[in-house]
A = this chain, B = another copy of it.
Amino acid sequence: MSAVPSRFSTTKAATEREVRGAGGAANPGNQGASAGQAVGLSHAGGPSFSPLYRQIKDLITASLQGGEWKAGEAIPSELDLAARFGVSQGTVRKAVDEMAAENLLVRRQGKGTFVATHAEQKVQYRFLRLMPDEGSQSLERQLLDCKRLRAPAAIAKQLQLRAGDQMVEVRRLLKAQGRPVVLDDIWLPGNLFKGLTTERLNQYRGPFYGLFEAEFGVHMIRAQEKIRALAADAEAAALLQVPLGAPLLSVERLSFTYGDKPVELRRGLYHTESHFYRNELN
């Protein structure tokens, strides 16, 4: 490859070598220009160029994905990570900064850096954009159904499964002051959620995504939503206690875990008479 020894490839991250453990000298005579840069490639043949901090980011992400640190736990300090990966604290910092901006990690001054979690947060429902016109959010959950079935083609496709694969379907209501506001249908890959039952869902306090983290090791890290207006059919009208044909917000959400892998499809019907969907544009 190259005459210059390198710790990290210029294209993709070296997955295993956490080079130069404790005891080694701190890369003398090579400061300023980083080892990764010194290779000086970035010509034809690859994704061209990956800076060191991005490779570090990939390594940290891999550890998250591999379950080395669990949701809510602290990851090693910046200095520890710098020693472990054989880079400067500043480079680790830049990697962690980006991951904090993406809500994968949470920094707390004086305490450490923690794996982001959907549970035990101030904001209970991180992905829920529903807001009441007046007052503050306070939602009760009512589980309607939880069953296993074979994936219909349309749903399987979005979850990158084969039609007919095992899958879990959950239906539930969210209520505000006793009135139903959201009707959710949720589809999950069966292989990732073995042992998910009505009881487990009912026992758990807090959002489903907290349960998924704690019990199944599945972290939802981002999601895409497609929003439409549609008229309530008979079933939705009955459950949401609105007239047949009443306008409802349809919110179709595809959620992803590490590696951009889709692991949940959700279709919510929102009654937006005294609530609205809030969005911020930048």
Q: Once bound together, how far apart are the Cα atoms of A226 and B279, in whole Å?
A: 7
Interface segment among A64-72, A190-198, A270-278: the answer is A270-278
> A79 on the interface (CB 8 Å rule)?
no
Contact among B222, B246, B270 with A281 in the assembled complex (CB-CB below 8 Å): B222
Interface segment among A31-39, A211-219, A228-236: the answer is A228-236
* Nearest CB of chain B from residue A208's CB, rounded to whole Å: 15
In contact, B101 and A224 (Cβ under 8 angstroms):
no
Contact among B102, B223, B227, B270 with A277 in the assembled complex (CB-CB below 8 Å): B227
In contact, B272 and A222 (Cβ under 8 angstroms):
no
In contact, A228 and B272 (Cβ under 8 angstroms):
yes
Q: Once bound together, how far apart are the Cα atoms of A222 and B247, in whole Å?
A: 29
Q: In this complex, what residue of B is CB-closest to A275?
A: B228
CB interface residues, A 231-282, toward B, < 8 Å: 231, 245-249, 253, 270, 272, 276-282
Question: Could you show 11 A-B contacts with beta carbons less than 8 Å apart?
Answer: A127-B281, A226-B276, A226-B278, A227-B278, A227-B279, A229-B229, A229-B247, A231-B247, A247-B248, A253-B281, A279-B279
- Interfacial residues, chain A to chain B (CB-CB below 8 A): 101-103, 126-127, 129, 131, 221-231, 245-249, 253, 270, 272, 276-282
